Structure 1
């Protein structure tokens, strides 16, 4: 059955990431192999028309799947080391990451996004035990009060912090580190240079949401809270899955890897506290 989901100008960007996961799952060499993403896009009325409006391209879909795979790998690593923990998936959008990871019943998983997005998620994805969908802005301080604070926490924020100001990111991060005894922060970050460049990219223009926050020095967060320590950063060009991209994109990745300012274009950052 198809579901009537109302996408507005503010929520159309959700389709870009959802399409990338579905496109990957239907390819000959899937990276994420997210079958629930396929089911979700096939259940959305007028999806083909929306996809055409956004002018989605295959190489961009593959690149988002590659980044998602690395984030999934780090989430799995955290849960191996902290089997009884809390996962805060901020700006979850229409990402069924909890189903890909399939955590044990000892993990309480929270997907958080704006109320209208949270309702879309409930319409498109099945329910599961120990999985909670919260409709609120990540910048709203009240939602955090409902999260158990007696366990290690993993905060995952893929494709969301770049839309906030630095002060908003700082306030959010320090609220979280001040509530939990220990944990990790996992998010993607663009440099100020790449923020400006991405605001000219088709994926950003199509959604109408401009990038705002750029992170030049990973040590910046350590100045916000002395408990925070930068541990790792991953760049897109390091992934073996670049081989799945068209040859023109593979050449571009080699060029980016050789030029420092381009190599750091988009990184996935990992911090402990």
Structure 2
């Protein structure tokens, strides 16, 4: 049996953005190996198997038994919305903003003519390129999403799906507004999928994470006031679907949280333009 050569990620600094991306990848891989997974991200599991890293230490910090489910629930809802859009528009352009190490482009069944762009900071894309390569219908773009120049690489003659998971809350509100305006100015029609934190997010971040969360909102529908081209379609708590968790203690914990206002701390949003 031929053994797959490991890809060395030992240079990823503990606590860095790249490390956080690896942690999320690891949680999705753990969830994929659970009985009756919600997301079932086999591509993440395959990536983790290929990466040479201190996963034991990662496991002690990330606590997969508790945290893998939130990651899976959020990703699964965005996957469902993405798949529905691509089913209606099999020639779409997809912009996956702040993609990190996410494997959405590989775990979804993409129609043949979809053009997919994974976009993130150059150092993150450099890390991705250790595992993946550009190919027909799939490209990685190394740039801050708040820069304008990377958009010149994307076509504008097709319906466009924009996915921003775990991204917008890390930008100041002014940059969120500018980014969304720039996107809707460039593309004629499509959908925008993203998650938001409540206003408590930035406050808690100042106490626990050096203020890295910059923006929170009590109602993402305020985006319609910022940008007349954006039209609200639907939203869900990131905890929605907790009934599918196969761990009884964790399912009961999520059920308890979902019964309180805390269910709206992290909300998934779907808009059209």
Fold in common (TM above 0.5) = yes
Q: What 5-or-longer segments of structure 1 have no aligned partner?
A: none
Q: Does 1:269 align with 2:273?
A: no
Secondary structure of the equivalent of 1:123? Answer: coil
Match of 2:256 in 1: 255
Q: Does 1:37 align with 2:41?
A: no
C-alpha change, 1:172 and 1:272, in structure 2 (3 Å) is: same
Select which of 65, 70, 77 maps to 2:77. 70
Q: Does 1:7 align with 2:9?
A: no
State whether residues 23 and 62 of structure 2, in contact with CA within 8 Å, keep that contact through their aligned partners in structure 1.
no
What is the distance in 2 between the residues matched to 1:71 and 1:195?
Answer: 23
Select which of 154, 159, 166 maps to 2:166. 159
Q: How much has 1:25 moved relative to structure 2?
A: 1.5
Q: Does 1:217 align with 2:219?
A: yes
In angstroms, what is the RMSD of aligned CA positions?
2.0
What is the distance in 2 between the residues matched to 1:160 and 1:234?
Answer: 17
Q: What 5-or-longer segments of structure 2 have no aligned partner?
A: none
Q: How much has 1:253 moved relative to structure 2?
A: 2.5
C-alpha change, 1:13 and 1:78, in structure 2 (3 Å) is: same
Structure 1 window deviating more from structure 2 (149-158 vs 236-245): it is 236-245
Q: How much has 1:49 moved relative to structure 2?
A: 4.9
Q: How much has 1:255 moved relative to structure 2?
A: 2.8
Q: How much has 1:81 moved relative to structure 2?
A: 1.4
Structure 1 window deviating more from structure 2 (171-180 vs 119-128): it is 119-128
Q: How much has 1:35 moved relative to structure 2?
A: 1.9
State whether residues 44 and 103 of structure 2, in contact with CA within 8 Å, keep that contact through their aligned partners in structure 1.
yes
Under a length normalisation based on structure 1, what TM-score does the superposition of the two structures give? 0.90
State whether residues 190 and 215 of structure 1, in contact with CA within 8 Å, keep that contact through their aligned partners in structure 2.
yes
Match of 2:151 in 1: 144
Match of 1:93 in 2: 100
What is the distance in 2 between the residues matched to 1:245 and 1:126?
Answer: 36
Select which of 230, 233, 250 maps to 2:232. 230
Match of 1:169 in 2: 176
State whether residues 18 and 37 of structure 1, in contact with CA within 8 Å, keep that contact through their aligned partners in structure 2.
yes
Q: How much has 1:50 moved relative to structure 2?
A: 4.7
C-alpha change, 1:55 and 1:183, in structure 2 (3 Å) is: closer
Structure 1 window deviating more from structure 2 (11-20 vs 124-133): it is 124-133
Q: How much has 1:263 moved relative to structure 2?
A: 2.1
Select which of 195, 208, 219 maps to 1:188. 195
